[in-house]
A and B are shown apart, each in its own frame.
Chain A
Amino acid sequence: MTDARVEDLLRDLAPQVLGALMRRYDDFAAAEDAVQEALIAAAEQWPEQGLPGYPRGWLIQVASRRMTDHLRKEQARRRREDLVAAQPAPDAVAPDTDDSLTVLFMCCHPALKPAAAIALTLRAVGGLSTAEIASAFLIPEATMAQRISRAKQKIKSSGLPFRLPTDAERPERLRLVLHVLYLIFNEGYTATAGPALARVELSAEAIRLTRAAHRLLPHESEVAGLLALMLLIDARRPARTHADGTLVPLAEQDRSRWDADTIAEGIALITETLPAGPTGPYQVQAAINAVHDEAKDAADTDWPQILALYGVLERLSDNPMVRLNHAIAAAMVHGPANGLAMLEPLADKLSGHHRLHAVRAHLLEMSGDETAAVAEYRAASNKATSLPERHYLMDRAAQLRRQAGPDVH
């Protein structure tokens, strides 16, 4: 078995092993460390010695041994060694329950800030090492280790039991899980500069984790919706940047470079999910991206359908960013003046946000007001928080100024 295949298997098993340990020992922080140690041992031994007959059982046994060692040390400190000796060893072949889902809910804990939940999810559910997670976020390993350790302590002190959320808690807890997965996916788009080769592909990792969540929760329509959304956005990745890393806007992308298989999978998933309901924001966003992905070129885009979908999205989750995108769709259907009018009420809520200026610039450009558009592109580039996006906006301002001739400065 190749190292890569061993690694894939280990990472699928990681949350299951952690779940099995949590059933036995109610100490999330220590159990998570023990699982990491077992994963490292397996990654060293399996490629050389071959797979054990029951890989999951092997990992549970090794992790349990580490856990027992840990508890013995802990309890020695409390001079209660005799109690440990009386504890039964956990079954190597644990009951075939998959606790991955409980682990996922635990990691996307309501007491954690997003950055902490992301790091812990990647380690405990994704089976990534601290070093891999640290390099993905371009921060030192020691900092990431502390972030993970604090997250685990916070979960421990929250006293939340290791079980699935109740029916009453479930919608809110699931919303948190999906938000964390979405943030991991989105973070993957930062990786345009720096030592990209050595980095874990965060978008691919988010898709893998969301796939697993969808397998465990096949009837949760928003999980399916989020997976479809990720697939439909990620399919455009090959066309999203030039070879030098500069961004290519959707309308100018070479659509022959889009990943047709991934688009087909995303469209099939959202087509199957939407009629089943209940409908949620991720499904609607997936549907919007499906419309983009189905268009053979930018001019072929079914903007009336996108406009209608933004209307639905706004009713489901009304926020300024949704309204901003709604305004673009309105401009594409009813003309730029209509879109610009929709931006007016957003000026206060999004004041200083680069996206408001960027959208305004785009709509002003459409309406032929080049002078105002250049000023808005410049304002947008000054406020951008992403370097590639800032470069794109600066370039846009410069191009437009040149096209417009000497009167526009």
Chain B
Amino acid sequence: MKYMLLMNTTDIGHPPITEWEPADVKAHIEFMREFTEGLVKSGEFVSGEGLALPDEAKIVTARDGGAPAVTDGPFPESKEFLAGYWIVDCDGLDRALEIAAAASASPGPGGITLNHPIEVRQVLSAPPDAEL
């Protein structure tokens, strides 16, 4: 079964990564690399990407009979932004939660663990019922 693990940037009381010590940034990046590599080795990795910071984001809204509206970030009204995601193919929800818990424990500033919330969503990839 396929699940998407979403890592949102939420305010969990730490400074943003751009303000961390270089060694902490390095440790965080190394953790993410090893985590993804671990998913390939366990035969569960489908895909995963990190996204550019929300400062660079744009929001596009189609408008009736006119050019779409394009708004530049940052968007102070939104508290959460998607920072990155993984799609895994694993035995079931329990295993997906286990993987998410491991991702949540990434290292943060000063060597603490971030315990970052990871949202787990099932991908609708199951076969439909044969006798519908």
Contacts and interface: CB of A to CB of B under 8 A. Distances in A.
Contacts of A390: 124
A389 B129 contact: yes
B47 A247 contact: no
Interface in B88-132: 89, 91, 122, 124-132
A247 B122 contact: no
18 contacts: A139-B45, A143-B45, A146-B40, A147-B43, A150-B43, A187-B127, A190-B125, A190-B127, A233-B130, A355-B129, A385-B124, A385-B125, A385-B126, A386-B126, A386-B127, A387-B125, A389-B132, A390-B124
B21 to A, nearest CB: 33
A146 B43 contact: yes
B63 interface: no
Given A113-B91, A247-B132, A250-B132, A146 B41 contact: yes
B39 to A, nearest CB: 8
Interface of A: 113-116, 119, 137-140, 142-144, 146-148, 150, 186-190, 192, 233, 247, 249-250, 289, 292, 325, 355, 384-390, 392
Interface residues of B, number: 22
List of 9 A-B pairs having minimum Cβ-Cβ separation, nearest first: A147-B43, A385-B126, A189-B127, A387-B124, A389-B128, A386-B128, A190-B127, A386-B126, A146-B43
Interface SS, A side? helix
A370 B122 CA distance: 30
Interface in B41-86: 41-47
B127 A142 contact: no
Contacts of B47: 140
A189 B125 CA distance: 10
Nearest to A194: B125
B127 A140 contact: no
Nearest to A189: B127
Contacts of A143: 39-40, 43-46, 89
B128 A189 contact: yes
Given A115-B91, A139-B46, A247-B132, A190 B40 contact: no
Contacts of B127: 186-190, 386
Contacts of A190: 125-128
A189 B130 contact: yes
A140 B46 contact: yes
A385 B122 contact: yes
A115 B130 CA distance: 20
Nearest to A289: B131
Contact of B131 (A119, A140, A250): A250
A249 B132 CA distance: 5
Among B43, B47, B131, chain A packs the most CB atoms within 10 A around the CB of: B43
A67 to B, nearest CB: 24
A116 B126 contact: no
Contacts of A148: 43
A312 to B, nearest CB: 17
Contacts of B91: 113-115
Nearest to B1: A385
Contacts of B44: 143
A139 B126 contact: no
Contacts of A386: 124-129
Contacts of A189: 127-128, 130
Among B42, B44, B124, chain A packs the most CB atoms within 10 A around the CB of: B124
B128 A139 contact: no
B124 A144 contact: no
Nearest to A185: B130
